[in-house]
Amino acid sequence: MLPGFLGITVFVLLPYLDILLRSFNLNEYNRTPDFENYKIVIANEAFRLAVKNTFYFTGISIPLMVVLSLIIAYGISSYLRNSWLMAGIVLPIMMPVSTLVLLWRTVFSEYGFLNRISGFAEGKGIDWINSKYAMAVLIFSFLWRNMGYAVILWIAGIKSVSVEILQAGKVDGANGFQRFFYIIIPNLKSYFLCIVMLGLVNSLKIYREIYLIAGEYPDEDIYMLQHLFNNWFRDLKVTYLSAGAVIELAFLLTAISMFYIIFKKE
């Protein structure tokens, strides 16, 4: 384990320690920490907008992904035998981002496929990505791309439930819904935790798609934290960027720790 630990220390932990020090304005010229960067970042209107949009996107997309993927997994788990079908389920997440961006431009642009099937006259369609529907398009993109691995994980969890327990429940008079809610779901806690954590991490990667589709300054409704961080990086505002990164990490660690504590209780 030592080589891997050394690599993580050199390329992750030490650089992040540098970020932490910069966020408090600690350097060779200043030995007294202060919270000035954090005050400026929290008071920044762009930061507040980005935080609001990021929370909104994460708060809707992850619960939708968890619930919909569980329903799909339960519905097809009894019929899924073909490995090619399993590969097809996870195909979207294996697609290159550039290919995905080209697909969404083809579908959601003003002259795209969605406007054509909606019956809009040529040149009078909705530019879905730069309209009030931008967040809905973004959530749909996230679900389409990430549902596959969630379905596969749920199926693995459902298959791991003992057949004898399910049969015993059936003998005791439990119907299909009761077996699902009282036997299967309680045995999926660890899978739920894994899916939520993966979804949380992947929701913060949605920036790539937004950036390639709409550029540095997309519609206000889909202006995310990563847009702000990218702009700060471009302008070399390293101390603000460091403070923002520390705030984001603190939120992530808090959220993951809460999920872990709740769902790992006996």
What would the mean pLDDT of 67-79 be, rounded to a whole number?
85
Distances (CA, A) of 56 to 138, 141, 199, 203: 11, 15, 14, 11
- For 131, the 3-state DSSP assignment is coil
Who has greater pLDDT, 79 or 32?
A: 32
As for how many domains the chain has, the answer is: 1
Would 31 be classed as within a structural domain?
no
Would 133 be classed as within a structural domain?
no
Write the pLDDT tens digit of every residue in 5-14.
999 999 999 9
Flag whether pLDDT at 81 surpasses 70. Answer: no
Q: What range does the domain containing 211 cover?
A: 36-93+146-263
Would 259 be classed as within a structural domain?
yes
Kindly report the CATH number assigned to the domain that includes residue 65. Answer: 1.10.3720.10
Would 108 be classed as within a structural domain?
no
Would 136 be classed as within a structural domain?
no
Would 187 be classed as within a structural domain?
yes
Would 237 be classed as within a structural domain?
yes
Radius of gyration of the chain (CA): 23
Flag whether pLDDT at 217 surpasses 60. Answer: yes
Question: Rounded CA gap, 169 and 178, in Å?
Answer: 9
Would 26 be classed as within a structural domain?
no
